[in-house]
Amino acid sequence: MSCVLRLTDVSKRYGALKVTDNISFAIEQGETYGILGPNGAGKTTLFNLISGDTRPDTGAIEFDGADIGTLAPHRRCIAGIGRSYQVPRPFGGMTVFENLMVGATFGGALKEREAAGLCIDVLERTGLKRRANQLASTLTLLDRKRLELARALATRPKLLLLDEIAGGLTEPETHELVDEIRRVKEQGVTIVWIEHVVHALLAVADRLLVIHFGKHLAEGSPAAVMDDPEVKRVYLGLEA
């Protein structure tokens, strides 16, 4: 196994607030790595640092063995880092298929014919083929979440960042989405997943990281992390 993503002592401060505080971890190829933490723990900031939307103040971020700390977001996407956003951001005036084509041609740097073939495959894999010609603005929440996933997959990511993709879904919808993410995992894509719907994350994750006020709180197997007294106290509100 090779290391796909490595963060070493990464910190980010906004004024007096240190939102990411010397975070370090490494993720192996094909692994699904879950990140938990209360609201305001710094989870989305961590994703923004990895995707390039935000630059760290200190520390190093490596992708596939190369330092990407100064690489622009679109260059990181072309290099193989795809992501979804907590609030779906489709191009509402475009069809589902056209949204995927944007991801494949601009994020994946594919020529139109190759991109079209990939997008058709992704539509089938994510259950959106029947919605291909539907305007993205008319989709249900579940299908908008699927579109977030599909558009990220259309960039051909080696590393997929999922930001609370199960949020707001019903229990049956969550199970559908988890099954789709499992299929992505089975194809060898490395996944980092931030999620508040804990049971969804536990169904897929190989390892968990819990952060609190930007700091590393616990890391390890899902069972060990969820049994950690500090995690129970801080994240679940339980006394050990």
Domain boundaries, the chain: 3-234
Q: How far apart are CA 219 and CA 34, in angstroms?
A: 10
- Per-residue pLDDT at 40: 82
Three-class DSSP category at 111:
coil
Write the DSSP string, 198-226. HHHHHTT-SEEEEEETTEEEEEE-HHHHH
Burial code (b: 16+ CB inside 10 Å, e: under 16) for 172-183 equals: ebbeebbebbee
Q: Are strands 159-163 and 17-28 parallel, antiparallel or unpaired?
A: unpaired
Q: Is the CATH code 3.40.50.300 the one for domain 3-234? A: yes
- Per-residue pLDDT at 39: 82
Contacts of 32 by beta carbon, 8 Å cutoff, 6+ apart: 185, 190, 191, 192, 193, 204, 205, 206
In tens digits, the chain (240 residues) has pLDDT values of: 689 999 999 999 999 889 999 999 999 999 999 999 888 888 999 999 999 999 999 999 999 999 999 999 999 999 999 999 888 889 999 999 999 999 999 998 899 999 999 999 999 999 999 999 999 999 999 999 999 999 999 999 999 999 999 989 999 999 999 999 999 999 999 999 999 889 999 999 999 999 999 999 999 999 999 999 998 887 766 554
Q: How far apart are CA 102 and CA 112, in angstroms?
A: 10
- Per-residue pLDDT at 240: 46
- Per-residue pLDDT at 38: 83
Q: How far apart are CA 230 and CA 51, in angstroms?
A: 29
User: Residue 93 is inside which H or E element, if any?
Assistant: none
